[in-house]
Amino acid sequence: MELRHLRYFVAVAEELHFGRAARRLNVAQPPLSQQVKALEAELGVTLLLRTSRRVELTAEGRVFLEHATLVLGQTERAKDATRAAKRGEAGRIAIGFVTSAVYALVPGILREYHRKFPAVEMRCHEMTPARLLHALRQREIDVAFVRLPVREDGLVATEISRERLVLALPAEHPRAGGGRERLRDFATETFIMVPRTAAPGFHDALLNECRRAGFSPRIGHEAGEWQTVLALVAAGLGVALVPESLRHWQRPGVAYLELTPRTAEVPLELVWRKETAQPLVEAFVAVARAAALEAKDATRVNGGI
């Protein structure tokens, strides 16, 4: 049994006239009649009662019409879904990100992507940078937002944003609530850091910033999550260099200071596998780039960098 047989039968069953069904299908009437007879022979039942004046569905024909219509409808939906997947408008995409990324541009990118492609199912995964790249290579995720620069065969990276560092310190700290401060004035403070095993690129960037200010930080505590870093700051256990976007998370007991001279900026990169025919990924990258450009323009208008 072929889909062609189902289409022929459904047309005749709906028109109850072989001539009109033939015109609807743009086929000759004799072959149409032969195909319906062949379908009845294969099923071993009579689907249509034919007389010189009319065509009627048998009881078996009515049952078969119901199921044939469902099959044809599902076939069309499958075609539409496949075409949508080819255009990057349907399917499933797995997105990975480091913790600090969710405080900046990434939520807006996810929101815009969902608005443009509501039929795509998004699966989001928070991981360490090393785990993200491993998951990307193993095809566990399709794209990843990472802080460390990625220069690896088989992977493609594009910079989404850059942000400076600010100093997070306990709200009761004598310098809390001040203006711009020099990082070197905090050389004797205890620093809370993310361990290098969790975020090597970011860890090195923080150390380099302290060295550029003329000192090596005294690291008293390490925490693998930024929320934990800020919790330790709020507890009065030290200060921390953090991405500026963490200021959006108003953690009670934590104050933020801008630094002078301005710190180096840390990048946020979007990474994906270097492969052909990835419509879902290509659409996501396009949305991310557009959102990043819009954010940069907004920053310039508001007097930022």
**Structural domain range at position 67:** 3-86
Residues 150 and 279 in one domain: yes
pLDDT of residue 129: 81
Within a domain: 21: yes
Query: Based on the structure, what is the number of domains in the chain?
Result: 3
Residue 262 lies in a domain: no
Q: In the predicted model, is pLDDT for residue 35 greater than 80?
A: yes
Reported as a single tens digit per residue, the pLDDT across 132-178 is 999 999 999 999 998 877 788 899 999 998 889 999 999 999 999 87
Same domain, 183 and 237: yes
**One domain for residues 149 and 72:** no
The chain-wide mean pLDDT, for the chain, equals 87
Rounded average pLDDT over 220-227? 89
pLDDT at residue 232 greater than cutoff 90: yes
CATH, residue 148: 3.40.190.10
Residue burial 155-173, b: 16+ Cβ < 10 Å; e: rest:
ebbeebbebbbbbbbbeeb
- 138 shares its domain with 20: no
Same-domain status, 174 and 205: yes
Query: Does residue 300 register a pLDDT over 70?
Result: no
How many Å apart are CA 211 and CA 220, to the nearest integer? 17
Is 114 part of any domain?
yes
Same domain, residue pair 240 and 171: yes
Query: pLDDT by residue (tens digit) across 170-219?
Result: 999 999 987 789 999 999 999 999 888 877 778 888 899 999 999 999 99
Judged against a pLDDT cut of 80, whether residue 104 lies above it is answered with no
Does 200 lie in the same domain as 176?
yes
Q: Are residues 225 and 253 in the same domain?
A: yes
Is pLDDT of 33 > 80? yes
Domain boundary among 86, 108, 128: 86
Judge whether residue 301 has pLDDT over 50: no
| Predicted pLDDT at 211 | 94
Which pLDDT score, from 0 to 100, does residue 231 have?
A: 94
